[in-house]
Structure 1
């Protein structure tokens, strides 16, 4: 059974063997190595890549999706130059295989889509998002550069949260009907900061909460730890003030997974008497905190209770009707779906929707993946998640043995993925560029912890 799991998750897969035997790899990648060796600028290639990614994540909450698309295109162009000029071994990991398989299935779904023009545009967007993964996984292998990008994102999220706190104190005009007007929480202020939507803001802050919590342990010096604590407090408070039920679920999942992995990684350093009860204490404590919040905090009680009243809540009723129509779409396109992207969805969904229930997405990430790429795509995506978590656990054990504080950023990254998925069960805000880029960044952060490969051996020169 262990051998089957090891093979399924590529736990012992070695990229060196594949790269050394791949003619295409040797022909294409590194073909401009001589040019790079003579270029002063390309000696700083990894740093330049981090600069591009830093600009992307620093501007994402404040600029239009068009500008984000331009920045993604620049990242794609730089990645191509980097791969063609890189004379070292490709930094491939099992996670790259999972991402590549998912992209291949999406490409097939595009080729066989009933709305090919719209699907091609969705495929281009998906490919640009995957560039974030490929570039970040390549340039963030350096601990210093990884920390730089994480710090820039956390400071950007801090600006977003500060403006969110301003809306908490001075009010924020609703830009859409986000709350059932007949519910007990109809008059609450749902903050949205620069993102323009409270659900979108909640999704944006999920990794900020996880990474700022990781920074509390990973950053050295009390001033920096104090800053991390400030970030954690502000990010958590603002996410709570979004009153996004999906966001709350995502935050709870994020914190739970963080604590669970931290206890898992350092349980053997606890006193012997405590080791046995460490995990049960985490589970019991989590349940207790959730129950206390639900019973003792009226806004939480009102929002959580609305989850269980079915169609009596307008938001629930809307989602149930959309999900019903999406399931019918999946029934008619079960293998490869209708093709990737919101434009393909918008072309096909009106043929199935119930009157007055227009929608731009499936309002569930797993349903969205299935309707876009079929059950084949869903299987590829789930396999990608399994491989990612397995690789994270392997690298976490390695970092724990080294007593490397970067392990807390790895834990935070996995916790962010859990929060994204929990939030995504009932919403699809992560298909917005501000969130989607963060999702692929988190996958890239896990991949960046994969041990670096030795430099590619150079052919000997004739004497």
Structure 2
């Protein structure tokens, strides 16, 4: 097995001559690309570092493109995601001239392009790195994600206690640094399946304990975020895991656990605790603004009124429904209202294609249990992320970057899946 210190001939391209400058520099460049990808994965958990993250990404992207060109290496890869991604980008761009504020919507479209470029760069880097050892690369990804999520969870819990948070009710809620409890909840929804995958696949006892501890701490932070949409997303992941893995016991355990927790919460409510947690006013406020958006979608079904989160308040900021819910609180409706129903269809297609790709590759790599579990975990991440975005617009910023990085790590397993199919 090659290591990253050995230069491998580029796939589909002639190898650089031994002793040439390119042959000497290429391994170091791709090692730096992997290190940068892992660093960006960790930074994704901290929105305050988003600008550093962006500068690092564009620098790494430029170096990777230049190195690949010099090596004669093609960074293109086959995937069912290309078409829905291209259609999503194309339709959102088509809708920009019809927006309330075209300049703002175009700026938001450019941010969407930048995040999707993260996906394509990450797939290219992982595919090149995986030539040198799949188990090591996947392990590094899980370790980086565990480190970032553990640091985030510990910060959130420490800050929660310092601000006077309790189990009695939710006037104080655990939150992510430089953001809020919605961001924290979404980060943890994305991280939990991967932490479970790390605990299930590692062969080292200390690493298994580390992943399991990180998952428990993340789950505790999720509870104290007091974000019911986050709890619902974790439940959806548990139920989906039972169905996808054909583990009826897991499905029943998730369902019974949810019933027990709801029953306990209701019992606490009757005892005078968690009155705000049980109060449905936030759901009523969301339903009210969703109604406004549905009417706008009915009036502008094809091109919408402007892509971007600020479009909602620009359109409805003077309505009484927005006094309690100052935002769209639903990413899918936001996209439909902003760029029309075709954009929404493309977005759902992207999520469905990503999930299907993970499950397809998982089946083809069934003889490699650790990679198969990782792929199922990414599929569960997508499912939980989609549920979470049904109640808030969280497909943005560092959260979007983390989503595309994790999806890229799954899609990058395709060459090994093809090899496994040929071997079978």
TM-score, normalisation: structure 1? 0.75
SS of equivalent to 2:150: helix
SS of equivalent to 2:369: coil
* Larger deviation, residues 249-258 vs 406-415: 249-258
Q: Distance in 2 between matches of 1:193 and 1:285?
A: 29
* Larger deviation, residues 83-92 vs 114-123: 83-92
SS of equivalent to 2:81: helix
Q: CA deviation at 1:395?
A: 1.0
Residue in structure 2 matching 1:442, options 406, 409, 418: 406
Instruction: Indicate the residue corresponding to 2:422 in structure 1.
Output: none
Q: CA deviation at 1:345?
A: 4.2
Instruction: Indicate the residue corresponding to 2:348 in structure 1.
Output: 382
Instruction: Indicate the residue corresponding to 1:415 in structure 2.
Output: 380
Q: Distance in 1 between matches of 2:239 and 2:139?
A: 23
Give ranges in structure 2 of 5+ residues lacking alignment.
1-11, 419-424
Contact 2:316 2:322 in 1 (8 A): no
Instruction: Indicate the residue corresponding to 1:161 in structure 2.
Output: 153
Instruction: Indicate the residue corresponding to 1:57 in structure 2.
Output: 41
Q: Distance in 2 between matches of 1:321 and 1:328?
A: 11
Contact 2:89 2:113 in 1 (8 A): yes
Q: 1:131 to 1:83 in 2, by over 3 A?
A: farther
Q: Distance in 2 between matches of 1:411 and 1:38?
A: 41
The higher relative CO (CA closer than 8 Å, separation ≥ 6) is in 1
* Larger deviation, residues 241-250 vs 439-448: 439-448
Contact 1:293 1:300 in 2 (8 A): no
For 1:9-47, what per-residue CA distance to the aligned partner results, in whole angstroms no more than 9, with x for missing partners?
xxxxxxxxxxxxxxxxxxxx99xx99xx74343334443
Q: CA deviation at 1:201?
A: 0.3
For 1:288-308, what per-residue CA distance to the aligned partner results, in whole angstroms no more than 9, with x for missing partners?
22111111345887899989x
Residue in structure 2 matching 1:370, options 333, 336, 344: 336
| 2:80 corresponds to 1:91 | no
Instruction: Indicate the residue corresponding to 1:267 in structure 2.
Output: none
Q: CA deviation at 1:452?
A: 5.6
Instruction: Indicate the residue corresponding to 1:5 in structure 2.
Output: none
Q: Distance in 2 between matches of 1:109 and 1:435?
A: 24
Q: Distance in 2 between matches of 1:314 and 1:453?
A: 48
Residue in structure 2 matching 1:152, options 139, 144, 147: 144
Residue in structure 2 matching 1:424, options 379, 389, 395: 389
Instruction: Indicate the residue corresponding to 1:321 in structure 2.
Output: 288
Contact 1:361 1:368 in 2 (8 A): no
Q: CA deviation at 1:404?
A: 3.2
Number of equivalences: 393
| 2:59 corresponds to 1:74 | yes
| 2:175 corresponds to 1:192 | yes
* Larger deviation, residues 90-99 vs 150-159: 90-99
Q: CA deviation at 1:111?
A: 4.3
Residue in structure 2 matching 1:224, options 194, 207, 216: 207
Q: 1:147 to 1:111 in 2, by over 3 A?
A: farther
Instruction: Indicate the residue corresponding to 2:357 in structure 1.
Output: 391
Q: Distance in 2 between matches of 1:113 and 1:126?
A: 16
Q: Distance in 1 between matches of 2:288 and 2:354?
A: 33
SS of equivalent to 1:153: helix
Give ranges in structure 1 of 5+ residues lacking alignment.
1-28, 175-183, 265-277, 455-463
Q: 1:130 to 1:78 in 2, by over 3 A?
A: farther
| 2:213 corresponds to 1:209 | no
Q: Distance in 1 between matches of 2:208 and 2:170?
A: 37
Q: CA deviation at 1:69?
A: 3.6
For 1:242-278, what per-residue CA distance to the aligned partner results, in whole angstroms no more than 9, with x for missing partners?
11001111111223323433x33xxxxxxxxxxxxx4
Q: CA deviation at 1:187?
A: 4.9
